[in-house]
Amino acid sequence: MQEHKVLVANRGEIAMRIVQACRKLGLDFVCVYTHEDRHSGHVALARSLGGERAACRVSSYHDANELMAVADHAGATAVHPGYGFFAEDFRFARRATNRDRKLIFIGPSWRVIRELGDKINTKRLARSLGVPTVPGSDKPIYDELEAEDIAASLFAFQAEQGIKRPMVLVKASAGGGGMGIEEVLDPDMFRAVYRRVRNYSRRQFHDEGVLIEQRIEDFNHLEVQVVSDRSGKNPVHFGTRNCTVQSTGRQKRIEVAPGFAPSEIAYTFDAQKVLDDIIGHSLTLARKVGYDSVGTWEWIVTRQGEPYLMEVNTRIQVENGVSAAISRIRGKNGVDIIAEQIRTGLGEPLGYTQEDVTFEGVGIEYRIIAEAPEDRFAPWVGRIDEFRWRDEPWLALHTQIPTDVAYDIPTEYDPNLALAIIWGKDLSEAKARGRGFLDGLTLKGENRQGGMRSNIAFLGDRTERLLVF
Amino acid sequence: MLDVTKLLEEIKASPYQEMEITAPQTGEVTFGGLAVGDKVVGPSGEFREKPGTTVATLTRERNPRPIRATQKGTVMEIFSDLEGTFVETGTPLVRIRHYLSKDEVQSAILRKALHLFRAPERAKYYFTPEVDTKIRAGGLESVHVREGMEILIMSRMKREAPLHYAGPDGVIYAVYFSPSQNVDAGAPLIGVCPPDQVALIQDVVVRVQTEWSEQD
């Protein structure tokens, strides 16, 4: 591989994993951080592996000019956006690749991001290929009367379908990660909810557009992990994930790979066929657009086993590691999807086909978060005094929280503390190991209101019924 | 009872504020012809449309951006060893000594006279749409607050929660936060003037306007 230097345009655990992947590939790197993140583990890791100048303080992770300035100063040749921030911003990707001092954008080409990154374009494209999608608006709605018309037709449609509790979902079009989504059960309440989501979207995302969709109840949330090289011709999949365990705000808390376990759990539908179908549909769409990086196809599957495509995330995802944990390339363990993304993003061919990718065991990823599940998952902010766990060969733990000094959680970002990825030879073993890991975890801290709050008990409670539908 | 005379004397005894101008972004810094002892001014005009004195220039992606003084004052120190180098955000560039203005003195004293409703948590704060509309239409003092009134939205980590006012009834006299800026826990959000403090507030304003002289 040519010599490259990668600008890591993100923070926290994903920045750390990108740095580690760069080291694995023998690549140089430079990180950025904000004042609020000065004590984050990604800053310490960058400095320990790359020296004092390997971490540069910027005003914001959202400021593209800052990132470009740091890239130029550091002599970076590529930029990895991680997830969030600029990861799915086709304008940023276009700017990076088209400017005088070009940077390779480690992600899909900007045209692919533009085509698939937009939930609405994705829906249109999927429908044209016969891929099932959730009924609803196919463009962001800015007009209240138009929004009410769409909502009324969705309520009527569900009534015609015999759905007992018709429900509509109002989503901030510019949102993501489960933020800015509300349900409407009573048509008379639609206007109030619409206005609330619109105002929220304006404050948080500076955009008033909302999407209105049929709310499908009683479903599982599945994903297909796709990896492709710059040719865009031979995408392969790294299996499925089940992300059904979420917070009340529809943010993922546990991910399991593969998405169902038909060999251990009985389903009312042919679960293996559903997994095969969503993989097939995802790869069809990937080939159609010439998908040329790592990406995730998100699906909902109803209790009747009907899959609907929700959206495509044109980036690396938080939960990539749980798919890597069960994947083998030519029988070898230790798949690193972030390293694969960097390697192929820099122009190397994939070097293997679907036949070379096999799967072994079950992976569970726990998102350990400072929050109060009993209080609608309200984020907890304070100082973490102690964070310890026991190392195991079947455990990978990624965290930006220092374990040797106290750490104040910055209020500017989500209070995600760590990702714990557990592997077992089957679901039963993975669950048993997961419970053992959670039981042995030490996490202590405090703020002015008292002791630390976290979702550890919630994760333990939900482990028992993982993949049951 | 607030002793306005004593407070004014205390401020007169130490009427300066030293402030550091830091790099608001990354870039290559140059200081031009700035020298220690130079007088600088902050933005002025009805809409603060006239920019302050340029104290440094930051260049990134070949685009120079002037860094301007935010207050009137005298240059005390220039970090000239940084000339021509790439600086990180937050790097100190220039130190200025600033003589307090009438508005600043008035604001400092009013903070002791008004009821300060403080931020319960470090977060971003916004007025509720209803209160915001009222302020835009009729100004701050058109908003009468009372105990339990839903007045602000507290936004932290993209989660929002309503914030209810606690304190004496009155009108909003001062706002100490800016939307989209984080406010530390315990910092004042708004200053409320209870009806029994109106005379005192008016006295503060008159005394500062007549007794404080600004420097040229």
Question: Which residues of chain B have a CB within 8 Å of the CB of A63?
Answer: 25
- Rounded to a whole number, what is the distance in Å from the CA of A197 to chain B's nearest CA? 11
Are the Cβ atoms of B25 and A65 closer than 8 angstroms?
Answer: yes
Q: Calculate mean pLDDT across residues B105-124.
A: 91
The active-site residue out of A315, A367, A433, A453 is A315
Nearest Cα residue to A112 out of A286, A344, A280: A286
Question: Which residues of chain A have a CB within 8 Å of the CB of B158?
Answer: 179, 204, 414
CB nearest B26 (choices: A58, A378, A414): A58
Residue with the larger pLDDT of the pair A448 and A410: A410
Q: In this predicted model, what pLDDT tens digit does every residue of A163-181 receive, in sequence order?
A: 888 899 998 887 766 678 8
List chain A domain ranges: 5-106, 135-214, 219-463
Q: In this predicted model, what pLDDT tens digit does every residue of A31-69 receive, in sequence order?
A: 999 999 999 999 999 999 999 999 999 999 999 999 999
Q: How far apart are CA B86 and CA B92, in angstroms?
A: 13
Check pLDDT > 80 for residue A112. yes
Using an 8 Å Cβ cutoff, are A244 and A220 in contact?
Answer: yes
Q: Calculate mean pLDDT across residues A377-389.
A: 94
Min mean pLDDT across A256-260, A329-333, B107-111, B114-118 is at B107-111
Average pLDDT of the residues of chain B: 92
Question: Which residues of chain B have a CB within 8 Å of the CB of A381?
Answer: 121-122, 156
Check pLDDT > 90 for residue A161. no
Q: How far out from the chain centre does Cα B52 lie?
A: 16
Q: What does the radius of gyration of chain A's CA atoms come to, in whole angstroms?
A: 22
10 Å CB burial of residue B11 (0-12, 13-18, 19+) is middle
- Rounded to a whole number, what is the distance in Å from the CA of B2 to chain A's nearest CA? 31
The H or E element containing residue A387 is strand A383-388
Q: How far apart are CA A427 and CA A12, in angstroms?
A: 29
Record the tokens describing residue A146, joined without a space: 């138009």
Interface of B with A (CB under 8 A): 24-27, 60-61, 63, 86, 88-90, 121-123, 126, 129, 153, 155-161, 179, 182, 185
Check pLDDT > 80 for residue A316. yes
Record the tokens describing residue A51, joined without a space: 């020296």
Q: How far apart are CA B50 and CA A455, in angstroms?
A: 52
Are the Cβ atoms of A200 and B24 closer than 8 angstroms?
Answer: no
Q: How far out from the chain centre does Cα A469 lie?
A: 22
Check pLDDT > 80 for residue A117. no
Q: H-type helices in A99-250, by residue range?
A: 110-117, 119-128, 144-160, 190-205
**Amino acid letter, A215:** R
A344-376: buried (b, 16+ CB within 10 Å) or exposed (e) per residue?
bbbeeebeeeeeebeeebbbbbbbbbbbebeee
Cβ atoms < 10 Å from Cβ of A124? 13
Q: How far apart are CA A221 and CA A108, in angstroms?
A: 24
Q: Calculate mean pLDDT across residues A227-250.
A: 95
CB nearest A57 (choices: B90, B159, B185): B90
Question: Which residues of chain A have a CB within 8 Å of the CB of B90?
Answer: 35, 57, 59
Say yes or no: A56 contacts chain B, CB-CB below 8 A.
yes
The H or E element containing residue A66 is helix A64-74
Strand A181-184 and strand A210-214: the pairing is unpaired
Orientation angle between helical segments A90-98 and A110-117, nearest 10 degrees: 170
Dihedral sign from CA coordinates of A342, A347, A348, A351? positive
Q: Calculate mean pLDDT across residues A371-394.
A: 94
Are the Cβ atoms of A63 and B25 closer than 8 angstroms?
Answer: yes
Q: Calculate mean pLDDT across residues A321-341.
A: 97
Q: Do domains A5-106 and A219-463 have the same CATH topology?
A: no
Q: What does the radius of gyration of chain B's CA atoms come to, in whole angstroms?
A: 20
- Rounded to a whole number, what is the distance in Å from the CA of A383 to chain B's nearest CA? 13
Question: Which residues of chain B have a CB within 8 Å of the CB of A179?
Answer: 158
Are the Cβ atoms of A179 and B88 closer than 8 angstroms?
Answer: no
Q: Calculate mean pLDDT across residues B30-49.
A: 93
Cβ atoms < 10 Å from Cβ of A392? 14
Cβ atoms < 10 Å from Cβ of B27? 28
Record the tokens describing residue A118, joined without a space: 């937009």
Q: How far apart are CA A262 and CA A82, in angstroms?
A: 33
Q: How far apart are CA A441 and CA A456, in angstroms?
A: 9
Check pLDDT > 90 for residue B53. yes
Q: How far apart are CA A192 and CA A170, in angstroms?
A: 11
Q: How far apart are CA A295 and CA A87, in angstroms?
A: 11
Query: CA-nearest residue of chain B to A204?
Result: B158
Average pLDDT of the residues of chain A: 94
Q: Calculate mean pLDDT across residues B87-94.
A: 97
A:164-193 residues touching chain B, CB 8 A cutoff = 179
pLDDT at A281: 96
Record the tokens describing residue A441, joined without a space: 């975890």
Residue with the larger pLDDT of the pair A5 and B200: A5
Are the Cβ atoms of B155 and A35 closer than 8 angstroms?
Answer: no
The verdict on ipTM greater than 0.85 is no
Using an 8 Å Cβ cutoff, are A315 and A295 in contact?
Answer: yes
Residues above pLDDT 90, as percent of chain A: 80
Q: In this predicted model, what pLDDT tens digit does every residue of B136-181 receive, in sequence order?
A: 999 998 999 999 999 999 998 878 889 999 999 999 999 999 988 8
CA distances from A133 to A123, A176, A299, A397, B88 (A): 6, 18, 9, 35, 46
pLDDT at B1: 64
Q: How far apart are CA A66 and CA A31, in angstroms?
A: 12
Please give the span between the terminal C-alpha atoms of chain A, in angstroms, as a whole number: 45
**Best residue in B25, B29, B89, B153 to probe A by mutation, most A CBs within 10 Å?**
B89
pLDDT at A374: 94
CA distances from A339 to A24, A346, A373, A437, B197 (A): 8, 11, 34, 27, 65
Superfamily of domain A219-463: ATP-grasp fold, B domain (3.30.470.20)
Eight-class DSSP state of A54: G
**Phi, psi for A75 (deg, rounded to 5):** 75, 30
Using an 8 Å Cβ cutoff, are A219 and A175 in contact?
Answer: no
Q: How far apart are CA A210 and CA A143, in angstroms?
A: 9
CA distances from A444 to A370, A404, A416 (A): 10, 13, 15
Say yes or no: A70 contacts chain B, CB-CB below 8 A.
yes
Are the Cβ atoms of B157 and A414 closer than 8 angstroms?
Answer: yes
Q: How far apart are CA B109 and CA A376, in angstroms?
A: 41
10 Å CB burial of residue A334 (0-12, 13-18, 19+) is exposed
Q: Calculate mean pLDDT across residues B75-97.
A: 97
CB nearest B24 (choices: A34, A59, A69): A59
Q: How far apart are CA B68 and CA B43, in angstroms?
A: 8
Using an 8 Å Cβ cutoff, are A18 and A40 in contact?
Answer: no
Q: What order do you get walking across the sheet with A181-184 strand by strand?
A: A181-184, A168-172, A210-214
Orientation angle between helical segments A64-74 and A90-98, nearest 10 degrees: 30
Cβ atoms < 10 Å from Cβ of A328? 16
Question: Which residues of chain B have a CB within 8 Å of the CB of A453?
Answer: none
Domains and CATH numbers, chain B: 16-99 (2.40.50.100), 103-211 (2.40.50.100)
Q: In this predicted model, what pLDDT tens digit does every residue of A243-264 receive, in sequence order?
A: 999 998 788 999 999 999 999 9
Which of the four CATH numbers 3.40.50.2300, 3.30.300.280, 3.30.1490.20, 3.40.50.200 does domain A135-214 have? 3.30.1490.20
Q: Calculate mean pLDDT across residues B185-195.
A: 93
Question: Which residues of chain B have a CB within 8 Å of the CB of A79?
Answer: none
Q: H-type helices in A346-452, by residue range?
A: 427-440
Orientation angle between helical segments B4-13 and B198-211, nearest 10 degrees: 30
Return the CATH architecture of domain A5-106. 3-Layer(aba) Sandwich (3.40)
Most confident region among A4-13, A176-185, A195-204, A442-451 by mean pLDDT: A4-13
Q: How far apart are CA A309 and CA A134, in angstroms?
A: 7
The DSSP bridge partners found for residue B97 are: B18, B74
Using an 8 Å Cβ cutoff, are A189 and A213 in contact?
Answer: no
Q: Calculate mean pLDDT across residues A88-99.
A: 96
Check pLDDT > 80 for residue B32. yes
Are the Cβ atoms of A411 and B123 closer than 8 angstroms?
Answer: yes
Are the Cβ atoms of B60 and A415 closer than 8 angstroms?
Answer: no
DSSP string computed for A406-429? -EEPPTTS--EEEEEEEEESSHHH
Task: State the number of CA atoms in the 13 A half-sphere of B63 facing the CB.
Answer: 8
Using an 8 Å Cβ cutoff, are A463 and A253 in contact?
Answer: no
pLDDT at A189: 93
CB nearest A411 (choices: B153, B157, B179): B157
**Amino acid letter, B14:** S
Are the Cβ atoms of B126 and A203 closer than 8 angstroms?
Answer: yes
Q: How far apart are CA A7 and CA A240, in angstroms?
A: 30
Band of pLDDT at residue A1, cut at 50, 70 and 90: low
Q: Calculate mean pLDDT across residues B7-22.
A: 92
Band of pLDDT at residue A92, cut at 50, 70 and 90: very high
**Best residue in A34, A36, A57 to probe B by mutation, most B CBs within 10 Å?**
A57
Q: Calculate mean pLDDT across residues A365-386.
A: 94
The yes-or-no answer on residue A330 being catalytic is: no
Residue with tokens 């008292």: A450
Question: Which residues of chain B have a CB within 8 Å of the CB of A412?
Answer: 157, 182
Residue with the larger pLDDT of the pair B7 and A100: A100
3-state secondary structure of A75: coil
Cis omega (within 30 of 0) on the bond before A258?
A: yes
Check pLDDT > 70 for residue A310. yes
Q: Calculate mean pLDDT across residues A158-167.
A: 83
Check pLDDT > 80 for residue A135. no
